[in-house]
Chains A and B, each alone.
Chain A
Amino acid sequence: MADQGAADPGNNNNNKAEDSEGTIIKVTVKTPKDKEEIAIAEDASVTQFKEEISRRFKAKQDQLVLIFAGKILKDGDSLSQHGIKDGLTVHLVIKTAQKAGEGASAAASSSTSTPAASSSTSSPGTNPSSTAGSTGSAPPSTQTPNLLTGFGDLSSLAGLGMGSSNFMELQQQMQRQLMSNPEMLSQIMENPLVQNMMSNPDLMRQMIMANPQMQTLMERNPEISHMLNNPELMRQTMELARNPAMMQEMMRNQDRALSNLESIPGGYNALRRMYTDIQEPMFSAAREQFGSNPFSALGGGSDSGVQPSRTENREPLPNPWSPPNSSNPPESGGGTTGSTSTTGGTTPSVSNPLGINPGSLGNGMFNSPGMQSLLQQISENPQLMQNMLSAPYMRSMMQSLSQNPELASQVLMNNPLFAGNPQLQEQFRSQLPVFLQQMQNPEALSVMTNPRAMQALMQIQQGLQTLQTEAPGLMPSLMPGGMPGMPGGMPGMPGGMPGGMPGGMPGMPGGMPGGMPGGIPGIPTGGAMPTENPASSPSSAATNPAQQQLMQQMLQMFAGGGGGGVGGGGGGGTATTQTPEMRFQSQLDQLNAMGFINREANLQALIATGGDINAAIERLLGSQPS
């Protein structure tokens, strides 16, 4: 300012750019939302700069925070001091209002904290509650800061990463954590501090009523305010809130009562009305704000948004043993509008969703031990399949692939597994659209998630295996051909595809849950195989070639499966036209070395077990005494 006065006494301070003696530089000022170029004198001070900025950005000077190269530009500094030159960028943050300070001390320190960023950060609901919390008239003042510090401490214990400078963020985080983790809620409930607070119905009521949504709700349904105002009821509720077991018991009673209601003529409608009018808005209001409605979080810890906790929580703890078409039990509680039972998708037709022609199930691929163990894994853990298939990226991946066969084929071609075998590529390319179609088919997916279906498939395959060992005479009559190459290659291919893709795609592997790469190679193959058959068999239906194909596939299966890439997308084992002897050469040698000198028996055993030495040994040992 000094040089200003000296240089141009007649000019008042408003005219920054011209009256200094330095050159004008253009500095870009960047906010998170936009940026502007400001012309300013090279040797101007930060204050002058801020004046200019405040005009351009229509903000008050003391709201402006300028940052350059990690340093905050203070009013007393000059631009050149910081090295701000022509063409450089200075960052600007416009403070929106007075903030109350960091962390839990927020509410304690200032009761007038209007976290003005509320419009951007959180629902308006939390705002008044924070003020209510800090300025609540009825509760003793010691409680309110304690409330927050209580939560703050708990939260940091729970490793929630608290310590945010914004109280509302804190609340939101709390709430989100709670919603996703009911156990934590009960932990919190056990905290004596919380219990203290809860046992004070006045405070609770304050908090609940402070939520504006709650308020509108109450206006519309005076019964609610009634309920809130009844201290006896409140106390009971708090008791309940503290004791989740009791809570659930009560819920169950309520459900039963409600279901009785349902049987009364007109009762169902009444229930439904009750739900939609009261419960829904209440719960959605409650969800916005922790603590205003202990019911919602505690009543079963349901995580599906609008799931009324009055009804039985039909969000199934997935029951792998129930038939996938789990119809809701007839004695459901009221308000079925909200509940969505989502067990693994649609009701698969008991007959054959994949159109598997049992006659043509020569899925050699299934025989390989890797595949078997995978299938076993799947049937034991349907959740795994379900999770994987329902992962959004999986869906979108499948979708894009099916929509764009070109893309898919490209992907496949690049897969090293395929690289050496153009035959396979051809075959797979032709089958691709169908394959992808099938993958999309929700019924196909649901079969894959249905453990019993998987088990059945395994059984069929095992049966075929037995057949093959018992009646090897079938073999000579079969001709290896183009087809066998395909089913053999299939396991490798789709296995390789998702297995390979993660390697190459930025970010994709991050999206995949841990054990996936093991699971994925198997699954699409599992899905693919059954789908291949209907694909191929209809095309050559009821003709000799069909039969031949069948035979070929059975041969495939005899040969112990393609051997390629199952369970890991590894090496390109696509040579399925070798005799079993050649293929099991190394295993035979090992068996020999171990002392099993009966070459025929070894071979049989190896064929039966698909090359699995350990299983073969067991077989051999098992058959010896006899």
Chain B
Amino acid sequence: MDQTDSFPVKLYVYDLSRGMARQLSAVMLGKHLDGIWHTAVVVHGKEYFFVGEGINSCLPGGTPLGEPDSVVDLGITEVPAEIFMEYLTSLAESTYSSNKYNLFEHNCNTFSNEVAQFLTGKKIPSYITDLPSEVLSTPFGQALRPLLDSININPGGSNITGQR
């Protein structure tokens, strides 16, 4: 009775700085960063990401960021769409509601990581999840921290799971 389908899971990675980080990060931070990464998980034909407003979804590549800078294949999952939506809804009520967004510690990449693990058991590449600590380890990052804490990223999409 093997009726499980498998669905591919991909990680879309966007460089929010559009290349500027690669050029300017060494100058500004004293440390080289290849990009400021924003990620989203693409599964079941939709792209899911966590932003200031909450968990959001849209068609893959449908945010104003356009096409991803790179795509990481996370493997396949057997989790069907229904279960996944339930899971997301629960997340949206608990740990990923809109007020929980924190640019450094609980951001889109945190969400992508968690969802990736749920779906496939794998984590997302570490260079993405290490980014906040990299930045915070520079004096510049520390100085900017209070400012950045107040910023929420909202790159688009308007399908908030579990909100309103």
A596 at the interface (CB under 8 A from B): no
Closest 9 CB pairs of A and B: A69-B121, A503-B24, A32-B90, A510-B16, A504-B28, A70-B120, A70-B77, A32-B91, A396-B150
State the CA gap A95–B154 with chains docked (Å): 30
Q: Are B94 and A32 interface neighbours, CB within 8 A?
A: yes
Supposing A69-B121, A161-B57, A401-B147 touch, asked if A32 and B140 sit within 8 A by C-beta, the answer is: no
Are B82 and A102 closer than 8 Å at their CB atoms?
A: yes
B71 within 8 A of A: no
27 inter-chain pairs at a CB distance below 8 angstroms, sorted by A residue, are A32-B87, A67-B119, A68-B121, A69-B121, A71-B4, A76-B1, A91-B87, A94-B90, A117-B86, A120-B93, A161-B46, A161-B58, A164-B159, A165-B82, A169-B85, A169-B159, A176-B158, A396-B150, A407-B143, A407-B147, A414-B143, A416-B27, A503-B21, A503-B24, A505-B144, A506-B131, A506-B135
Query: Is there an interface contact between B90 and A501, defined as CB atoms closer than 8 Å?
Result: no
Interface string of B126-152 (1 = CB under 8 A from A): 000001100100011101101110111
Most B Cβ at <10 Å: residue of A169, A176, A509, A510: A510
Q: How far is the CA of A246 from the CA of B11 in the complex (A)?
A: 48
Cβ-defined contact, B85 with A165, below 8 A: yes
Chain A residues with CB under 8 A of B58: 161
Contacts from B to A (Cβ < 8 Å): 1, 4, 9, 14, 16-18, 20-21, 23-25, 27-29, 36-38, 45-46, 57-59, 62, 65, 75-83, 85-87, 89-95, 103-104, 107, 117-122, 131-132, 135, 139-141, 143-144, 146-148, 150-155, 157-159, 161-162, 164
Pick from B81, B104, B118 the residue with the most CB of A within 10 Å.
Answer: B118
Query: For A74, A123, A407, A508, which residue has the most chain B Cβ atoms within 10 angstroms?
Result: A508
User: By the criterion CB–CB under 8 Å, are A507 and B89 in contact?
Assistant: no
Question: Does A121 touch B at the CB level, under 8 Å?
Answer: yes
The answer to whether B87 and A93 touch across the interface, beta carbons within 8 angstroms, is: yes
- Say yes or no: B153 contacts A121, CB within 8 Å: no
Partner of A503, one of B17, B57, B119, B150: B17
- The answer to whether A507 and B107 have CB atoms under 8 Å apart is yes
**Shortest CB–CB separation between residue A184 and chain B, in angstroms?**
12
Q: Provide the main secondary structure of the chain A interface.
A: mixed
Contacts of B164 in A (CB 8 A): 122-123, 172
The complex places the Cα of A65 from the Cα of B20 at a distance, in Å, of 44
Q: Is the CB of B29 within 8 A of A102?
A: no
Complex formed: what's the CA distance from A472 to B158 in Å?
59
A121 to chain B: which residues have CB within 8 Å?
Answer: 89, 161-162
- 1/0 per residue, CB under 8 A from B, across A359-396: the answer is 00000000000000000000000000000000001001
Judging by beta carbons under 8 Å apart, are B121 and A507 in contact? no
A231 at the interface (CB under 8 A from B): no
Interface residues of A in 438-486 (CB under 8 A from B): none
Contact B45 A396 (CB under 8 A): no
Say which residue of A93, A411, A503, A507 sits within 8 Å of B151 (CB atoms): A507
A-side residues, CB < 8 A to B, are 31-33, 65, 67-72, 74, 76, 89, 91, 93-96, 99, 101-102, 117, 120-123, 159-161, 163-166, 169, 172-173, 176-177, 180, 393, 396-397, 400-401, 404, 407, 410-411, 414-416, 500-511
For the complex formed, measure the closest distance between the CB of A313 and the CB atoms of chain B, giving whole angstroms. 22
CA distance A192 to B23 in the complex (A): 54
Q: How far is the CA of A76 from the CA of B3 in the complex (A)?
A: 13
Say yes or no: B85 contacts A161, CB within 8 Å.
no
State the CA gap A301–B93 with chains docked (Å).
31
CB-based contact A502/B79 at 8 Å = no
Q: Most chain-B CB neighbours within 10 Å: which of A93, A101, A166, A503? A: A503
B interface majority secondary structure: mixed
Told that A120-B93, A504-B24, A507-B38 touch, could you supply 15 new A-B pairs with CB distance under 8 A? A32-B93, A33-B90, A67-B77, A67-B78, A67-B118, A68-B121, A70-B119, A165-B81, A393-B150, A404-B146, A407-B147, A502-B17, A505-B148, A507-B153, A510-B14
Q: Which one of B9, B117, B158 lies within 8 Å of A177 (CB-CB)?
A: B158
| Residue with the greatest number of chain B CB neighbours at <10 A, chosen from A32, A102, A508 | A32
Residues on B with beta carbons closer than 8 Å to the beta carbon of A117: 85-86, 89
A99 vs B80: C-alpha distance when bound (angstroms): 13
A382 to chain B, nearest CB (A): 23
Chain A residues contacting B121 (CB-CB under 8 Å) are 68-70
> For B37, B57, B93, B147, which residue has the most chain A Cβ atoms within 10 angstroms?
B147
Residues of B within 8 Å of A74, CB to CB, are 4
Chain A positions within 8 Å of B18 at CB level = 509
A407 to B139, alpha carbons, bound, how many Å?
11
Return the chain A residue nearest B158 by Cβ. Answer: A176
Complex Cα distance, B89 from A165, in Å, reads 12
Q: Are A510 and B83 in contact, with the CB atoms below 8 A?
A: no
- From residue A123, how far is it (CB to closest CB) to chain B in Å? 7
**Complexed CA–CA distance, A176 and B164 (Å):** 10
Contact across chains for B95 and A33 when beta carbons are under 8 A apart: yes
State whether B147 touches A99 (Cβ < 8 A): no
A396 (CB) vs chain B CBs: closest residue: B150
A117 to B161, CA, bound (A): 11
- By beta carbon, the residue of chain A nearest B93 is A120
Known: A70-B76, A120-B162, A123-B164. A504 touches B85 (CB 8 A): no
Partner pick for B158 among A99, A165, A173, A506, CB 8 A cutoff: A173
A180 to chain B: closest residue by CB:
B158
Verify A507–B90 contact, CB threshold 8 A: no
Docked-complex contact A400 and B28, CB < 8 angstroms = no
Does A396 lie within 8 Å of B95, measured CB to CB? no
Contacts of B141 in A (CB 8 A): 504
**Residue numbers in A under 8 Å from B135 (CB-CB):** 504-506
Residue of A nearest to B62 (CB): A161
Cα(A335)–Cα(B78), bound, Å: 55
Cα–Cα distance between A404 and B144 once the two chains are bound (Å): 10
